Copies of this chain bind each other. A is one copy, B any other.
C-alpha cells in the first residue's frame, strides 16, 4: 500500500497520474497549501522539505517528482510507463524530467514562490515580470528540440508525458500563450481527454 501526499495545482499531479495509470493500490492525501499544512510539524515529519509530492512506501518515504516517477514505473512494470530495460532511453527520460524539475518548474516558481530567493517586494515583482519570458523560452526549447512525437519521448507513452502535461497546465497563469507551441498544446489536449488523467484531475478538484 502506497500513500501519496499531494496538493491541488502542484507538480504532484504527475505522480498522481502515474500511480493511477499503473493501477497501484494507493491512498491520495490532500495537503492544503491555503492552510499552510505543508509547514505543519505533522507534515514536516513526512517531508522535511515542506513540499509535495511525498510517497509513503513500506520501505520509507520518497520525495521529488523525477524519483517518484521512475520508482512507480519500475514498481509496476506491466504498466509500461518507461523503457525500463534500456539505460540510454531511461537516461533520456530522466534528462527530460530533470530539465522540467530544475529549470521549467523553477522558472514558473518565480511567479508565486519568489521569497525563496529574495525578500524585497520590488525584487519579487521583478521576478514575476520575467516569468512569461523565462517559462516561454523553456517551452520553445521543448517544442523545438525535445518533443519527439507523438508522445514527448517518441512512440511510447511514459511518465514524462504526465510530467510535461502537469507543467503545461500552468502556461496561461504564467502569461504564456500555449498556441505558440503546437506540439505541446496538442499533447495537452490529448492528455486532458485521457480517462485516467480525467479521473485524477476530478479527484484532485473535489
A: which residues have CB within 8 A of B? 48-49, 57, 59-60, 62-68, 70-71, 74-75, 87-88, 90-95, 98-99, 101-103, 105-107, 110, 116-120, 122-123, 126-127, 129-130, 134, 141, 144-145
Contacts of A87 in B (CB 8 A): 70-71, 74-75
Asked if A134 meets B117 with Cβ closer than 8 Å, knowing A59-B88, A62-B95, the reply is: yes
Given A87-B74, A88-B57: A63 and B95 within 8 A (CB)?
yes
Give the residue name and chain of the B residue nearest to A44 (CB): B145
Taking a contact as CB atoms under 8 Å apart, the answer to whether A90 and B70 are in contact is yes
Q: Summarize A's interface: helix, strand, loop or mixed.
A: helix
- When C-beta atoms are compared, the residue in chain B nearest to A121 turns out to be B126
This chain: copies in complex:
2
Q: A120 to B90: give the CA distance in the assembly, Å.
A: 40
Q: Is the CB of B48 within 8 A of A62?
A: no
Q: Which of A57, A67, A88, A103 has the most CB of B within 10 A?
A: A67
Q: List 9 other contacts, CB 8 Å, given A102-B105, A107-B116, A118-B123.
A: A63-B99, A66-B66, A67-B93, A67-B94, A67-B98, A68-B95, A71-B87, A117-B117, A117-B130
